[in-house]
Structure 1
Amino acid sequence: MALAWELDKQLDIDPQTFRRTASGNGGVVIDSGATLTYLARGGFEPLRAEVQRLADGRLQPVDRPGLKVPCYNGVIERDLEGFPSVVFHFAGGVDLGLDPESMFMEITSNQFCMAVMPSERQELSIIGVLAQQKHNIAYDLASKKISFQRIDCELLES
């Protein structure tokens, strides 16, 4: 019998962490050329800590030198069944939900790591293609608003 994962916890992250500064630095970029997601430290550290807290006692950690993210023995689809979605809340009530396949990446056939890294550019966050998978993304140029629509990719394959 699998233990239930804790759900519906909002992390204490200052919204200013993701805002673009008056000088034009920072903010969030949606980048289809980046595989991984990179979060400003103020967002990354609480997320990393929460993933580690949730995994404690459930998953066997693996030390992957050079990686600054939690890694574990196991298979994403099997060992993260029921893992809570991570939701990025954008201005205007727009949300992007990441399921375990979008939040973690397979490193070997029996190891996986968090697919969200600390940003090398302290203030800038980048939402990569793993986080974008299973979504249609639109940007309205006139109103300067982004939207995300979750899609069922299996319907597209048939």
Structure 2
Amino acid sequence: MNSSTTGVFNEMKTAVPTTHFGGGYAVTVGLGTPKKDFSLLFDTGSDLTWTQCEPCSGGCFPQNDEKFDPTKSTTYKNLSCSTEPCKSIGKESPQGCSSSNTCLYGVQYGSGYTIGFLATETLTITPSDVFENFVIGCGERNDGRFHGAAGLLGLGRSPIALPSQTSSTYKNLFSYCLPASSSSTGHLSFGGGVSQAAKFTPITTKIPELYGLDVSGISVGGRKLLIDPSVFRTSGTIIDSGTTLTFLPSTAHSALSSAFQEMMTNYTLTNGTSGLQPCYDFSKNANDNIPLPQISIFFEGGVEVDIDDSGILISVNGGLEEVCLAFIDNGNDKDLAIFGNLQQKTYEVVYDVAKGMVGFAPSGC
């Protein structure tokens, strides 16, 4: 498959700014008629777009916006259990019917869950991009670490995910850029052309419900690590905007950790924490410009992603006493590997779902 394509990312059909929320990123969209704005975390690892709904009879987590009240929208409509969206989400998560034949859904995440009513509502992305009868989840029992956001914007691959629901307008094409600093603004864009600078790798068919990519190797300081490619093929890898850190098979993480330590021998190692290794105490280097070895991830098709310095290390408690390599050991070589959002920073990450490709263009924001 070609590793590049033509076009320029300067004529996006729709672009909305992103905001940093904890370990994820959110955009503000409108729901209902009259429109009410909500900050939703955008997540390529999940499908359903949902928000917390009044009366929150089962309990809700704290959020910055007022909760959505379906009784105050003239376009809100619960879906029955016989509808295709209800059958679709039933294949992916537990769902059932209320006594009035209203479709109920339940979705579990690594950091929480949502349970509620499946419905259609008007979704407003920009004043000119309005989608009627958009399938959403109206969550009445929700919990988890959502950092003040009002719910999720599902950018996954199923029929109820946003790319599929808006395909007639956006042609199953979207992209985002996450800035190096959480105080800066990135963007989430839909439709439009693709940058000549973007190099593409195929979306694998081995993980049909997620955006699976084939990793072919890792380099540290310009040196390719001696990792058998079968290590990555065994576990499989997905790219996920909703996961912060990158999860690696044990064999790959061990090689990366060892090579990184070899190039950081001038700094004080600590015991590490929460599965993160190696970790350093930089408290005595507060005024130093610490040169970090370049870490690069290679994907099928000759695609090389050079990790920005902001995605190489992470502070455990916000200070300099425990700063760790921002890659987690899966604990084995069989569990799914994840290319997280911290390592995607500064790239325009392009999801050309119609063509089955994910691309990376440097200096995207």
Out of 237, 242, 249, the residue aligned to residue 33 of structure 1 is 242
Out of 272, 275, 279, the residue aligned to residue 67 of structure 1 is 275
Aligned length in residues: 141
**1:93 and 2:338 matched:** no
Out of 344, 349, 355, the residue aligned to residue 132 of structure 1 is 344
Partner of 1:122: 333
Report the TM-score when normalising by structure 1. 0.78
- Pair 1:7–1:66, CA change in 2 (3 A): closer
Please give the alpha-carbon distance, in whole angstroms, between the structure 1 residues aligned to 2:328 and 2:242.
Answer: 15
Q: Which has the larger radius of gyration?
A: 2
Three-state SS of the structure 2 residue aligned to 1:18 is helix
Three-state SS of the structure 2 residue aligned to 1:55 is coil
Contact 2:310/2:345 (CA < 8 Å) preserved in 1?
no
Partner of 2:324: 113
Please give the alpha-carbon distance, in whole angstroms, between the structure 2 residues aligned to 1:92 and 1:77.
Answer: 41
Please give the alpha-carbon distance, in whole angstroms, between the structure 2 residues aligned to 1:70 and 1:7.
Answer: 16
130-139 or 140-149: bigger deviation: 140-149
38-47 or 137-146: bigger deviation: 137-146
- Pair 1:140–1:41, CA change in 2 (3 A): same
- Pair 1:13–1:103, CA change in 2 (3 A): same
Contact 1:94/1:146 (CA < 8 Å) preserved in 2?
no
Task: In structure 2, give the amino acid aligned to 1:127.
Answer: F
> Higher helix share goes to which structure?
1
Three-state SS of the structure 2 residue aligned to 1:95 is strand
- Pair 1:76–1:31, CA change in 2 (3 A): farther
- Pair 1:7–1:69, CA change in 2 (3 A): closer
- 1:144 CA drift (Å): 2.2
Please give the alpha-carbon distance, in whole angstroms, between the structure 2 residues aligned to 1:76 and 1:97.
Answer: 25
Task: In structure 2, give the amino acid aligned to 1:110.
Answer: L
> Higher strand share goes to which structure?
2
Which structure ranks higher in relative contact order (CA pairs < 8 Å, sequence separation ≥ 6)? 1
Runs of 4+ in 1 over 6 A off after TM superposition: none
Deviations, residues 34-80 of structure 1 (Å, cap 9, x unaligned): 11110011211100111111112x11011234434111011699453
- 1:120 CA drift (Å): 4.6
The percent of aligned pairs where both chains have the same amino acid is 28
Contact 2:276/2:325 (CA < 8 Å) preserved in 1?
no
Please give the alpha-carbon distance, in whole angstroms, between the structure 1 residues aligned to 2:308 and 2:349.
Answer: 16
Please give the alpha-carbon distance, in whole angstroms, between the structure 2 residues aligned to 1:76 and 1:139.
Answer: 39
Unaligned runs of 5+ in 1: 1-5, 154-158
Report the TM-score when normalising by structure 2. 0.36
136-145 or 112-121: bigger deviation: 136-145
- 1:15 CA drift (Å): 1.1
